[in-house]
Structure 1
């Protein structure tokens, strides 16, 4: 999906960026950041391979967390956050996709968006709608940085605008 150097650099960028996420320790903030990045990868994998949610959660728990992702060890992930996100996104996909679709240009459908970009938008929309305990600035910033790791500036700006609109719709 992406160059391993980019994965490592996005984790470093996200952990250095403001605003901070509530009262999480630096270690827990990093684990949450890793969980977001891995959540995007899991959504991508599920869509491409057609793998079920529980199977992907088990695979990541057994083989990927604290291990090697794209040739790079990223550190511990917030596994509960990851699993909650993946399950909710799958369970609420119609609602989440409707939120994302509202932010697309006329005549664009969500299935026309790049698979990775769609995963980023779904994950961000999940947090904005279902995790109101997390500041919208944190959510938007983290997914914009993830978009920058996978794409160039244009896609990151699109993610920023779409998630900002979804935040207005949901909060």
Structure 2
């Protein structure tokens, strides 16, 4: 499995872990241990979960938690007026938080790659409209966070 595929799996696992932390009220250490021991690279209820880059998985999950207040504030600003982040479905919040964290903190990943990866995750769970919203919000934030990556596209 390529390192790009392992990063894709790490992103999906990070989104699922962030979601589970929110809805089940689990702590960081518990969720990391659970995912690393029982989900990533394992068979669960007949579904085979792919191996993931564990360091990348840990970085996204712990990074979102460490900077969640600032991330949530930025997402609130980027969302449509009258539609604050708290009104967005929990899995969509997890996708947006992970995507913004990666845009802010992982300069080693091109912004367009991060956006596409999180839009693909959204597409696995949501309809086109929701995936489009994820794309629009992350694209807007990427242009603000990493303007140099978009300067040549103008």
TM-score normalised to structure 1 length: 0.82
Matches within 5 A, 1:1-171: 27-69=2-44, 71-171=46-146
Cα distance in 2 for partners of 1:70, 1:83 equals 24
CA displacement 1:42-77 (0-9 Å, x = unmatched): 011000010001110011111111102564213210
Stretches of structure 1 that go unaligned for 5 or more consecutive residues are: 1-25
Q: Which moved more, 1:35-44 or 1:101-110?
A: 101-110
Moved over 6 A (4+): none
Q: Which is bigger in relative contact order (C-alpha 8 A, separation at least 6)? A: 1
Stretches of structure 2 that go unaligned for 5 or more consecutive residues are: 147-154
CA displacement 1:66-121 (0-9 Å, x = unmatched): 10256421321011100111111001001111221111111221110000101000
Count residues with an aligned counterpart: 146
**Closer, same or farther in 2 for the Cα pair 1:160/1:96, shift >3 Å?**
same
TM-score normalised to structure 2 length: 0.91
Cα distance in 1 for partners of 2:39, 2:5 equals 16
Cα distance in 1 for partners of 2:7, 2:45 equals 18
**Closer, same or farther in 2 for the Cα pair 1:38/1:56, shift >3 Å?**
same
Q: CA RMSD in A?
A: 1.2
Cα distance in 1 for partners of 2:111, 2:25 equals 30
Cα distance in 2 for partners of 1:155, 1:51 equals 26
Cα distance in 2 for partners of 1:127, 1:56 equals 19
Name the SS for the 2:51 alignment partner: coil
Name the SS for the 2:79 alignment partner: coil
**Closer, same or farther in 2 for the Cα pair 1:69/1:82, shift >3 Å?**
farther
